[in-house]
């Protein structure tokens, strides 16, 4: 006996299918790309194109009024690297970045651990943590510039009650960096806290119950269970903090009334130096674009180093945890 097998629909040529079936097949192939296309279109328009255009500007003698001038190659980069203020701004940027990002991430993890507990009015406290992020950077900078005033600031008055001499928050290099880092921590700690808190709540509770049954204390559970399972989120927070910390502009710009980074540029960052080169007395868009590209390369390098270090730490921790 011979049996006939029914022909497979997938084997039918596309031209012989009905119009509705062909449209459905086309929809299945094209619709996923249409769904994700808005992101890539916006990225090309507001991200990739400005980056490429800035690279073109950095290779020309580009003026504010005259526009595109002669092709100068890498001369703009050479001029920027030969200016002492570039290295001063680079030092200030790294100093403020370290003073803000490291305490910020540690505080975010600690606050998220508290909010993850069974406390009353959880929603209220979570909204309160995010409130500083909603406040405008201008308002935060104006308030903190008054708090850290050299003569009549509240911080100096509080320290004076403990016998500490007034600190020159606007004159000393390290003191000004600490004051600006305090503004950054005030605004961004709550934002990072909610990200880490969301990751903490995604950890299965069965893991905590098993650790408690094994006799682990809350502190041991936090460092042996919570922190290892937060590694992907912590890596994300570290990378985003690195990108944002190296581009800081609002807080140091508004730390005093002049907005130049101090008389000796003791807290001028790379973005402020970029602004000064592009809109200051020099008014050279070519050199300003060169600063922008140098900042971009620095961010890429530091982001890659942070990612590599955190991945190494994560791999080391997973291998250590797998040993019995």
Whether 271 shows a pLDDT value over 80: the answer reads yes
Phi and psi, residue 63, nearest 5°: -105, 165
User: What's the alpha-carbon Rg for the chain, to the nearest Å?
Assistant: 27
| Residue 169 near residue 153, CB atoms below 8 Å | yes
pLDDT band at residue 16 under the 50/70/90 scheme: low
Identify which of 266, 117, 115 has the alpha carbon closest to the alpha carbon of residue 189: 115
pLDDT band at residue 320 under the 50/70/90 scheme: low
Give pLDDT tens digits for 289-300. 999 999 999 988
The reported pTM is 0.80
Residue ranges of the domains in the chain? 10-58, 81-322
Where would I find the beta strands (DSSP E) of the chain?
none
| Residue 141 near residue 186, CB atoms below 8 Å | no
pLDDT at res. 313? 65
Give pLDDT tens digits for 28-77. 888 888 888 898 899 888 888 988 999 999 998 887 766 777 888 899 99
Give pLDDT tens digits for 101-127. 889 999 999 999 888 887 787 788 888
CA 177 – CA 93 distance, rounded (Å): 9
CA 305 – CA 164 distance, rounded (Å): 39
CA 281 – CA 302 distance, rounded (Å): 31
DSSP H or E run through 138 = helix 137-147
Residues pairing with 71 in the sheet = 60
Report the share of the chain in percent with pLDDT over 70. Answer: 90
Residues 6 or more apart in contact with residue 183 via CB below 8 angstroms: 140, 141, 144, 251, 255
Identify which of 231, 201, 188, 223 has the alpha carbon closest to the alpha carbon of residue 102: 188
The residue assigned the tokens 């797998």 is 322
**Two tokens, residue 259:** 């907005």
pLDDT band at residue 142 under the 50/70/90 scheme: confident
When the candidates are 3.40.50.720, 3.40.1390.10, 3.20.20.70, 1.10.3720.10, the CATH number that belongs to 81-322 is 1.10.3720.10
pLDDT at res. 273? 92
Whether 4 shows a pLDDT value over 60: the answer reads no
Provide the CA 139 distance to its chain's centre, in angstroms: 21
| Residue 107 near residue 181, CB atoms below 8 Å | no
Please spell the DSSP secondary structure of 140-193, one letter per residue: HHHHHHHHT-TTT-HHHHHHHTTTPPPP-TTTSHHHHHHHHHHHHHHHHHHHHH
pLDDT at res. 238? 86
**87-117 burial: b if 16+ Cβ within 10 Å, else e:** ebbbebbbbbbebbbeebbeebbebbbebbe
Identify which of 184, 186, 199, 198 has the alpha carbon closest to the alpha carbon of residue 129: 186
Identify which of 108, 99, 103 has the alpha carbon closest to the alpha carbon of residue 133: 108
Give pLDDT tens digits for 68-100. 778 888 999 999 999 999 999 999 999 999 999
User: Out of 181-185, 196-200, 201-205, 273-277, which region has the weakest mean confidence (pLDDT)?
Assistant: 201-205
Average pLDDT, the chain: 84
């Amino acid at each position: 006996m011979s049996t006939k097998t029914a022909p497979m629909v997938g084997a039918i040529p596309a031209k012989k299918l009905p119009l509705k079936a062909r449209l459905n097949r086309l929809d299945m192939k094209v619709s996923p790309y249409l769904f994700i296309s808005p992101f890539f279109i916006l990225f090309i328009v507001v991200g990739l194109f400005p980056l490429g255009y800035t690279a073109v500007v950095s290779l020309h003698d580009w003026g504010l009024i005259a526009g595109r001038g002669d092709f100068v190659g890498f001369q703009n980069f050479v001029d920027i690297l030969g200016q002492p203020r570039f290295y001063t701004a680079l030092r200030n940027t790294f100093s403020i970045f370290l003073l803000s990002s490291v305490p910020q991430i540690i505080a975010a993890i600690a606050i998220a651990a508290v909010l993850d507990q069974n406390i009353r009015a959880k929603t209220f406290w979570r909204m309160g943590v995010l409130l500083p992020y909603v406040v405008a950077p201008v308002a935060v900078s104006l308030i903190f510039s008054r708090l850290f005033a050299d003569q009549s600031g509240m911080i100096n008055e509080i320290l004076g009650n403990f016998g500490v001499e007034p600190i020159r928050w606007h004159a000393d290099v390290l003191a000004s960096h600490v004051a600006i880092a305090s503004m950054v921590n005030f605004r961004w700690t709550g934002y990072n806290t909610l990200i880490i808190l969301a990751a903490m709540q995604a950890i299965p509770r069965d893991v905590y119950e098993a650790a408690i049954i094994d006799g682990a204390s809350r502190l041991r559970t936090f460092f042996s269970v919570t922190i290892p399972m937060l590694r992907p989120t912590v890596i994300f927070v570290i990378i985003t903090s690195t990108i944002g910390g190296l581009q800081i502009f609002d807080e140091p710009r508004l730390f005093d009334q002049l907005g130049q980074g101090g008389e000796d540029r003791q807290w001028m960052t790379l973005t402020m130096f970029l602004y000064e080169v592009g809109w200051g007395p020099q008014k050279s868009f070519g050199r300003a674009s060169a600063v922008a590209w140098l900042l971009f390369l620095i961010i890429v390098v530091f982001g890659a180093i942070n990612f590599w270090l955190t991945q190494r730490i994560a791999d080391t921790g997973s291998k250590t945890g797998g040993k019995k």
